[in-house]
Structure 1
Amino acid sequence: MIQDDTTEDEEEEEEEGAIHNQEVVYDRSLPGAHSYLGDDLQDVSGRTIHDEDSYLTLPLLALPGVVLTPGQTIPLHLFEPSVVSMVRHILTTDRTFGLLTARVNSDEPVIGTTAEILAVKDEEDDRSGVSVVRVKAIGRQRFQVLESRRQVDGMLMGKVLILPESQLCDALEGAVAPSLRRRGVTLRSTGKFNKLSSAYATSLPPWVYKQYDADDLMQRLRCELLSWNDHLDLRSIPEDASQFSFWLASNLPLDDGQKLRLLRLHCSVQRLRCELSLMQRCSALCCKNCALRIAEKKDVFCMADEGPIGAYVNPGGHVHETLTLYKAQGLTLIGRPSTENSWFPGYAWTILQCRNCMQHMGWKFNAVKGKLKPEKFWGLCRSSLIPGILEESEGTEEWRPSM
């Protein structure tokens, strides 16, 4: 159930702020460049793709509150000796490790995503003398952990199965014999020919097949995205059904369990159907800890080319998948604004916590350079949010997305 906050904001810092769908005057390539990591990272060339259904032994890294999806970029700031040693080792091989989500209690198989290093800087901290590795990596393929073990040097190794990405065949292929098609059976049945017209030669109507048509699902999802924010640039979204489904999985404000359920699906059509169902039901964004209503779905917008959610890392090595919004409510500011290590160059950040339960929620960003728009926005941690799902009625069974 969604708990609403009816208290009026009294302080200027907590006012609801920016107008919906205002034009963004900002270089959206800057957040994805992760310039706060430094400009001295060395690019690593190559692309590693493993055979589907193959068995591999991979070094594993578990991060709390992070669910990496194929195609998603993730920055890392590493200084634990065993992890630094792991990165140095894989740089001499295929530059690939497995990323898992920590602290997920589930009886389901453990699912992760292979991450390939794109750029790296290995150095020693001047003050502490500790070895530090800064990394930019990208998600490649889903895998299932079959078994894992901790080596003497502390490195976590796992035997994994690379999961296949299945494609549904055309359900109407062969529905009408070529000889009948040439004689116009389909045309007489429908008055005009389209990709679903052959359904009239089967026992099921066209709308049934349409529910599993990837092109139609992607078009409906694009319309749903525009209903959230009509300034969204659809040209930046992948056109391939599988890549589109993973882009949505990484950019929808879902909790860890929902994202992992999407990763467990082997078929892009199933994934798209599930995502469409979730988007249509999502009405608001709430605090994960106390269910306080924090924002509306229409508040979501893109400050980065990659989409409304991006993964960023702080100097302490904590990775936060951060959702950008025009405005939010029910939040309290902690401390003073700072531009140090800002994920959005030109903006100063201030810590936010839930007014109701004091849970850390993210940051408020204020422009410190003129002519930047929006002048302020909110960046909330995906791991601190849950989507408010509309229920059919009281007393009904728990709703689950269509697949």
Structure 2
Amino acid sequence: MAEDEGGGGEPDNRLLEAVLDDDEEDEDEFVMEEEVNDSEEVEKPSNINFDPSLPTSHSYLGTDMEEFHGRTVHDEDSFLNVPVLTNIPVILIPGQTLPLQLFRPHEVSMMRNLIQKDRTFGVLAYSDSADRSSKFGTTAEIYEFREEQEYGIETVKVKAIGRQRFKVIETRTQTDGIRVAKVHILPEWVLPSSVSGVQLNSLNRLHMFVSGKPPACQFKQAQRWWQKYQKRKFHCANLTWWPPWVYSLYDAEILMERMRAQLREWDENLKDDSLPSNPVDFSYRVAACLPIDDALRLELLKISSAIQRLRCELDLMDKCTSLCCKRCHNTEITTKHDIFSLSLYGPMAAYVNPHGYVHETLTVYKANNLNLIGRPSTQHSWFPGFAWTIAQCRNCGSHMGWKFTATKKEMLPQKFWGLTRSALQPKMPEIDDGGSDKLRWGRVISSLVYLCFKTFFDLANVFDLPFTVPCWPPHFSLPKGGPFSSAPFSSFLTGSMENAEGGTQC
């Protein structure tokens, strides 16, 4: 987009004002400010004829880009040196697409060199724009590349995809200006079934796996299928101290099905085969489209277990009720019920503007407390067939995103909003409300039960009694700070891993 702010969510609007001033001089037009009518009733789009594959192609970067095939995978727990980009305001998630437009000479030179090698670079993750020290990041692999020169300025356009998480050991800057980091590729802990410790091999033939689920079924049929699945999979839990529902809280397939139900609220036409079947890839796909701030997203990136990542994502989707202006804090912009999907990526994806600034844009069909600035434009539109208009917070004037309007009457939806994630702050409910009493008491009781059991088990070990049962909770210890200890919703989470980098396994 040619006229959007380069730093969506930044305190000042100098870039926007400069661009609009240039437009006034060149086109002799005046800047219009339009107040959005919040009382207007807007229905969720049901009949959408927009091609959801168009945003994923990033056609605004050009159609004649050089494509690369193959994939580079580094060994887990290995150490390597990778060039890193430090000016990308995105916490890249593995599997997420990252479009780039680079103008700085050392970055252009870095991309040229990478094309001749393994096409892999690092994207550092910053939880705070003011703090430029980073301990974590994600490797990105280039799959499309284009180099061009305009007005004597060399530019590279890149499409990359996130691959593997890493921890930064040290960084250094070379004489050519390229920054290189020594990183540790973090492993993915693939945990066994929560009841694997008590499953009898002779009864394996009775186990039911998700591959036997009908590809399409009605809601009641699917509900009965899942009840039968849980009953047969966790029947051996009756041999332990804990009921089957406890183990289902840590079952990857059940967690994924609960997450699919949440995603269907955003996209009624969502097909299960469009989502990854692997729990690790599935958890990353969800993490990439959650409209949370950088601090929470970084905590998700640190988690090394797909099961724990899914549990945290479910908790976030349940507790996040609305999205507010990051600068105003209390100015509500939209709610989670207004989110819908217009792309194969899901409701949120990363796009880059002509200035090289990357915006992770969330699509919603209704937004409040916004003012529109300027006239609609189709230049560099991320959604072909739609014109965009800059949207600002009505209270503080910070850049919030854009309003997209269809250029043809037959196109559906006729309008929607694209909100930049960097300008949004998720709003969580207070833990002390009346509805949380049952949840709070349940966790108190479960902790007491655990302490009683642990005491009994320790005594059994002291007296060398032949007594073993699965741990509580399955795979995880009781919270000791955990990866979300500093997050606002830490009191909602249970079963946090003992540490984010490696975790514990029973």
TM-score, reference length from structure 1: 0.89
Q: What does residue 53 of structure 1 align with?
A: 77
Instruction: Please list, as runs of the form range in 1=range in 2, the aligned pairs for 1:11-50 lying within 5 A after superposition.
Output: 11=35, 16=40, 18-50=42-74
Alignment-mate amino acid for residue 19 of structure 1: E
Asked if 1:281 is matched to 2:306, the reply is no
Change (3 A) 1:264 1:12: closer
Residue 342 of structure 1 and its aligned partner are, at CA, apart by 0.4
Higher normalized helix content (fraction of residues): 2
Asked if 1:213 is matched to 2:237, the reply is no
Residue 106 of structure 1 and its aligned partner are, at CA, apart by 7.2
Between the aligned partners of 1:138 and 1:398, the Cα distance in structure 2 is 30
Between the aligned partners of 2:52 and 2:264, the Cα distance in structure 1 is 19
Contact kept, 8 Å, 2:68 with 2:142, in 1: the verdict is yes
Between the aligned partners of 1:27 and 1:204, the Cα distance in structure 2 is 48
Q: What does residue 242 of structure 1 align with?
A: 280
Say which is worse superposed, 312-321 or 193-202, in terms of deviation.
Answer: 193-202
Asked if 1:88 is matched to 2:109, the reply is no
Between the aligned partners of 2:378 and 2:37, the Cα distance in structure 1 is 17
Alignment-mate amino acid for residue 162 of structure 1: I
Deviations 1:156-200 (A, max 9, x none): 100001110111112322415557x59x9xxxxx9x961111111
Corresponding residue SS for 2:160? strand
Instruction: Please list, as runs of the form range in 1=range in 2, the aligned pairs for 1:225-264 lying within 5 A after superposition.
Output: 225-264=263-302
Contact kept, 8 Å, 2:74 with 2:185, in 1: the verdict is yes
Residue 230 of structure 1 and its aligned partner are, at CA, apart by 3.5
Alignment-mate amino acid for residue 156 of structure 1: R
Residue 14 of structure 1 and its aligned partner are, at CA, apart by 6.2
CA RMSD of aligned residues (A): 2.5
Residue 12 of structure 1 and its aligned partner are, at CA, apart by 6.1
Deviations 1:57-114 (A, max 9, x none): 0000024531111111111000100100110111111000001234626799611111
Instruction: Please list, as runs of the form range in 1=range in 2, the aligned pairs for 1:324-343 lying within 5 A after superposition.
Output: 324-343=363-382
Deviations 1:305-354 (A, max 9, x none): 11110110000000000000011010010111100000001000000111
Between the aligned partners of 1:176 and 1:27, the Cα distance in structure 2 is 47
Structure 2 gap ranges (5+): 1-33, 207-227, 437-486, 497-506
Residue 208 of structure 1 and its aligned partner are, at CA, apart by 1.4
Instruction: Please list, as runs of the form range in 1=range in 2, the aligned pairs for 1:4-403 lying within 5 A after superposition.
Output: 11=35, 16=40, 18-102=42-126, 104=128, 110-125=135-150, 127=151, 129-178=152-201, 194-291=232-329, 292-393=331-432, 398-400=488-490, 401-402=492-493, 403=496
Change (3 A) 1:196 1:340: same
Residue 122 of structure 1 and its aligned partner are, at CA, apart by 1.1
Between the aligned partners of 2:37 and 2:159, the Cα distance in structure 1 is 34
Residue 234 of structure 1 and its aligned partner are, at CA, apart by 4.0
Higher normalized strand content (fraction of residues): 1
Alignment-mate amino acid for residue 354 of structure 1: C
Say which is worse superposed, 225-234 or 159-168, in terms of deviation.
Answer: 225-234
Alignment-mate amino acid for residue 93 of structure 1: K
Say which is worse superposed, 130-139 or 217-226, in terms of deviation.
Answer: 217-226
Say which is worse superposed, 15-24 or 358-367, in terms of deviation.
Answer: 15-24
Deviations 1:359-383 (A, max 9, x none): 1000000001231111000000011
Contact kept, 8 Å, 1:167 with 1:268, in 2: the verdict is yes
Alignment-mate amino acid for residue 347 of structure 1: F
Contact kept, 8 Å, 1:55 with 1:160, in 2: the verdict is yes
Contact kept, 8 Å, 2:93 with 2:162, in 1: the verdict is yes
Residue 239 of structure 1 and its aligned partner are, at CA, apart by 1.7
Between the aligned partners of 2:39 and 2:273, the Cα distance in structure 1 is 33
Corresponding residue SS for 2:232? coil
Between the aligned partners of 2:278 and 2:40, the Cα distance in structure 1 is 37
Contact kept, 8 Å, 2:325 with 2:424, in 1: the verdict is yes
Say which is worse superposed, 143-152 or 58-67, in terms of deviation.
Answer: 58-67
Between the aligned partners of 1:290 and 1:226, the Cα distance in structure 2 is 31
Change (3 A) 1:374 1:21: closer
Between the aligned partners of 1:85 and 1:53, the Cα distance in structure 2 is 29
Contact kept, 8 Å, 2:47 with 2:413, in 1: the verdict is yes
Structure 1 gap ranges (5+): 1-9, 185-189
Between the aligned partners of 2:488 and 2:156, the Cα distance in structure 1 is 44
Between the aligned partners of 1:288 and 1:233, the Cα distance in structure 2 is 33
Between the aligned partners of 1:339 and 1:48, the Cα distance in structure 2 is 37
Change (3 A) 1:88 1:178: closer
Contact kept, 8 Å, 1:349 with 1:364, in 2: the verdict is yes
Task: Give the greater-gyration-radius structure (CA).
Answer: 2
Contact kept, 8 Å, 1:76 with 1:136, in 2: the verdict is yes
Alignment-mate amino acid for residue 344 of structure 1: F
Between the aligned partners of 1:375 and 1:324, the Cα distance in structure 2 is 13
Residue 229 of structure 1 and its aligned partner are, at CA, apart by 4.8
Between the aligned partners of 1:35 and 1:17, the Cα distance in structure 2 is 33
Between the aligned partners of 1:106 and 1:121, the Cα distance in structure 2 is 32
